Structure 1
Amino acid sequence: MTNITSTKKAIAASAETVYAFLSDFNNLKELMPSKVVNWSSTTTSCAFTIDGMAHLNMAFGKNVENEKIEMISAGKNPFSYDLSTNINKMEGENCEVYILFNADMNPMLAMMAKKPLQNFVDILVERLQEKYK
């Protein structure tokens, strides 16, 4: 199992606001890095290609209201994975967010994919932080 953790970012919005935004896959497109192409989404699932790497399909797993958004591999994917966005309440109308990406990849694929996936999850939290500045 390959485990990747994003940087933790303070978000200038409440946990409830961030949870509501991330609970709709249609909203995620605005957080995606430029290397994400062929984006399609509904409120409950999405599919996209990380240019030069893989086509991924995701759906919601077990979410915990205002605390955690779980996205799991759905449909055809090159490997099984889950992506959990953790939302920690802070004082006032602020929260802290970080992403855990867990993937079941063979060692060779893990070696090639780890850096692009690390970059992917870091960009997601950075763009979320920028959205609420």
Structure 2
Amino acid sequence: MKLESPKVIIDKSAQDTFNFLSDVKNFENLMPENISKFEVIDNDTFLFALKGMPEIVLKKKEAIAPNKIVLGAAGGKIDFSLTANISETSENSSEVQLAFEGEFNAMMAMMIKGPISKFIETLTSNMPNNI
């Protein structure tokens, strides 16, 4: 299953945007309002939970400055990745799109598609005001 967020324009350079998203503790500022838990485990790993959902642990798997950051599931039963694609639009402006990718059976995909789409849209819509 592949899902993509809408693209958003950030009033920061691609490098500044990359630096912000490279620091996993900054994801707390991008989380939806219904977050019930956020905990930084180490420099590359954080845990979060939304109300009514299980805890999810994400680990930074890849970082290619200033264009790409890949977060992946750290353990758990479900393997997926969340990739931030950053492109420079001008010297002081960049564009970000999040891409979610995971292998799920048809029933699971049907159940999680809506909530995950909403989640990645919320993360991107919170970026312009927080980066």
Q: Provide structure 2 residue ranges, at least 5 long, that are not aligned to the other structure.
A: none
Q: Provide structure 1 residue ranges, at least 5 long, that are not aligned to the other structure.
A: none
Distance in 2, matches of 1:62 and 1:43, equals: 13
Which has the higher mean CA deviation after the structures are superposed, 4-13 or 52-61? 52-61
Residue in structure 1 matched with residue 62 of structure 2 by the alignment: 62
Shift of 1:33: 0.4
Q: Secondary structure at the match of 2:55?
A: strand
Shift of 1:34: 1.6
Residue in structure 2 matched with residue 96 of structure 1 by the alignment: 95
Shift of 1:28: 0.8
The count of corresponding residues between Structure 1 and Structure 2 is 130
Cα RMSD after superposing both structures: 1.2
Identity percentage of aligned residues: 27
Distance in 2, matches of 1:64 and 1:37, equals: 31
Instruction: Kindly indicate whether residue 14 of structure 2 is the aligned counterpart of residue 15 of structure 1.
Output: yes
> Which amino acid is 1:7 matched to?
P
Distance in 2, matches of 1:127 and 1:102, equals: 21
Q: Secondary structure at the match of 1:38?
A: strand
TM-score, with structure 1 as normaliser: 0.92
TM-score, with structure 2 as normaliser: 0.93
* 1:15-94 correspondence to structure 2 within 5 Å: 15-41=14-40, 42-76=42-76, 78-94=77-93
| Moved segments of 4+, more than 3 Å | none
